[in-house]
Amino acid sequence: MRSKNSYLHFFFIVVFSFLCKTTHAITIDFDDLDPNDLDGYELRNEYASLGVIFEAGYLITTASGNAVTGPSVYFTFTGELPTYVSFISNNPDGLKNSATAKGPNGYEELIITEGWYRGTFPDDDRNTPYIPNQRIVFHSEFGISSIGVSSQTTPFVDYLIFHNTKGVVSEPSLAVLFILGLSGIFFKNRKLFYKK
C-alpha cells in the first residue's frame, strides 16, 4: 500500500509543477561588490551570469550602500529578455533623470523622473518637486533588451529587479481545480474504503 501512496504523491507533484508555473525575479542591489576590487570602479560583466551587462556605469558607495552612477548608466540584457524591469533612480542635485528602455519589435519607452531642469527658472512649468528614491518600471511583452539612464548631472541607479513574465499562469482554471478536487476526494475515499 505504501508504494501506491508514493506513486500517488509523485503524480500530484508532477501535476502541480505543470499547473503552477512561477517566475523568479532577479534583484541586484550592488552591495555584494567591493569598490576596491573594480578597476576604476567601472562595472562591466560582474552580473553577466545573472543576464545583465553594464556598458556604462561606475560603482559608488552611498550612505545606504552601493549604487551605480556615471555621466550616464547603460546596461543590456542577455539570454532570455526580461518583460519586467524596475530600479530606483536618484539624483544628488535634485534634477530630473531620463530612463529609456528599448526592445524587440520597435519597443522604446521614455520615463522622466520628478525634479527640475538646470538652467531654468523656479516657476518653469517643466520643473517639479524632486522625489528621492523614485522607482522606474518598464513592461514589454516582447522583452526589454537595454536601458539607458541619463541626466544633466549624475544619475544614480540602485535595486535593479527584472524577470520574464511570459508563460506565467497566475491561477489555474476552474475546470482544473474541480478535477483536482474530485480526484483528491476519490483517492481519499478509496484509501478509507480499502483500509484494513
Q: Which domains does the chain have, with CATH numbers?
A: 26-163 (2.60.120)
Residue numbers in the chain where pLDDT is lower than 50? 1, 169-170
Taking only the tens place, the pLDDT of each residue in 73-106 is 999 999 999 999 999 999 999 999 999 999 999 9
> Residue 169 has what pLDDT?
46
| DSSP states of 110-175 | EEE-SSB-TTS-TT-TT-----SSEEEEEE-TT---EEEEEESS--EEEEEEEE--TT--SS--HH
CB 149 within 8 A of CB 73: yes
pLDDT at residue number 191: 57
Evaluate if pTM is beyond 0.75. Answer: no
Q: What is the pLDDT of residue 123?
A: 82
